[in-house]
Amino acid sequence: MLIRPSRRRLLLGSAATAATALLGGCDALVDNDHVSRVIASAEGLTKAAQRAVLSDTKLAREFTQTDLSPVFKANGTQQPEGEAYAELVETRFANWRLRVDGKVVKPLELSLAELKSLPARTQITRHDCVEGWSAIGQWTGVPLGLVLKAAGLTSDARFVVFHCADEYEKTLDGSGQYYESIDLVDAFHPQTILAYAMNGQELPVAHGAPLRLRVERQLGYKHAKYVMRIEAVDSLAPIGRGKGGFWEDRGYEWYAGI
């Protein structure tokens, strides 16, 4: 009998085809509440990472459309400076690529179209900023765990670092660049997503376009906006001033649990 390639694969657009190739057998995953469990049992994850995924999946509270805040404050950087970012906005991020590297088996460079073709999760959550305000918003994006699984963490990976496009403080040594980091428990948590949409629209520049982290069980400053590069590391010491994030380097807690 003749074995034909899957019809579906042939009908997919190029970005979707790339995503299918990227995720291998995982392209059937649509129900994202269970994505990280599936990932945990999949090949390519270390024992430590599997334990991390399964040990802590308590969900942050989710809300409904009627709870959405009429105004969601934009905080911190609201438009990264510089020509490079301005050009990305002008070309609607067509040439933007998310780099995934560090302690991974297969470094990736993903376009926005590729990220959007991966299984998505939508969640309505409350954002709490240490400055004393909160807002409820709806976020849509790719579970971070899916991207990490596609890249394949090596056995010594312990943290995931998010490098952002904005320099929040002008410094000579570059330590004013915004960055953040989380551990593997939060990285593979089902509500931890790389969001490209907010309240049903393209993610606005003020809120981190084209891609921002949502890590729902932690405070606002952990939710890195303008994510350009995701780096898996075994230690946070060599990055920035060594405390795991822009605000952490200036005295805030690294684990900012709500």
Ligand X SMILES: Nc1nc2c(c(=O)[nH]1)N[C@H]1C(S)=C(S)[C@@H](COP(=O)(O)O)O[C@H]1N2
> Which positions touch ligand X (CB under 6 A)?
73-77, 129, 164, 166, 168, 178, 207, 220-221, 223-226
> Which one, 102 or 220, has the nearer CB to Mo ion?
220
**Cβ at position 211, least distance to ligand X in Å:** 11
> Which one, 74 or 197, has the nearer CB to ligand X?
74
Residue 121 amino acid letter: R
How far, in Å, CA of 156 to CA of 143, rounded? 22
How far, in Å, CA of 85 to CA of 200, rounded? 23
> Which one, 116 or 223, has the nearer CB to ligand X?
223
How far, in Å, CA of 69 to CA of 237, rounded? 38
Q: What share of the chain is helix, strand, coil (3-state, %, to 5)?
A: 30, 25, 45
> Which one, 103 or 222, has the nearer CB to Mo ion?
222
> Which one, 211 or 232, has the nearer CB to ligand X?
211
DSSP secondary structure string for all residues of 56-89: --PPPP---GGG--S-----S-SS--SHHHHHHH
The residue whose Cβ lies closest to ligand X is: 76
Which spans of this chain sit near Mo ion (rule: CB under 5 A)?
129, 220-221
Is there a contact between 203 and 209 (Cβ–Cβ < 8 Å)?
yes
Coil vs helix vs strand at 143: strand
Q: Which one of Mo ion, ligand X, none interacts with residue 207, CB within 5 to 8 A by kind? A: ligand X
**Cβ at position 8, least distance to ligand X in Å:** 36
Q: Which one of Mo ion, ligand X, none interacts with residue 164, CB within 5 to 8 A by kind? A: ligand X
Q: Which one of Mo ion, ligand X, none interacts with residue 166, CB within 5 to 8 A by kind? A: ligand X
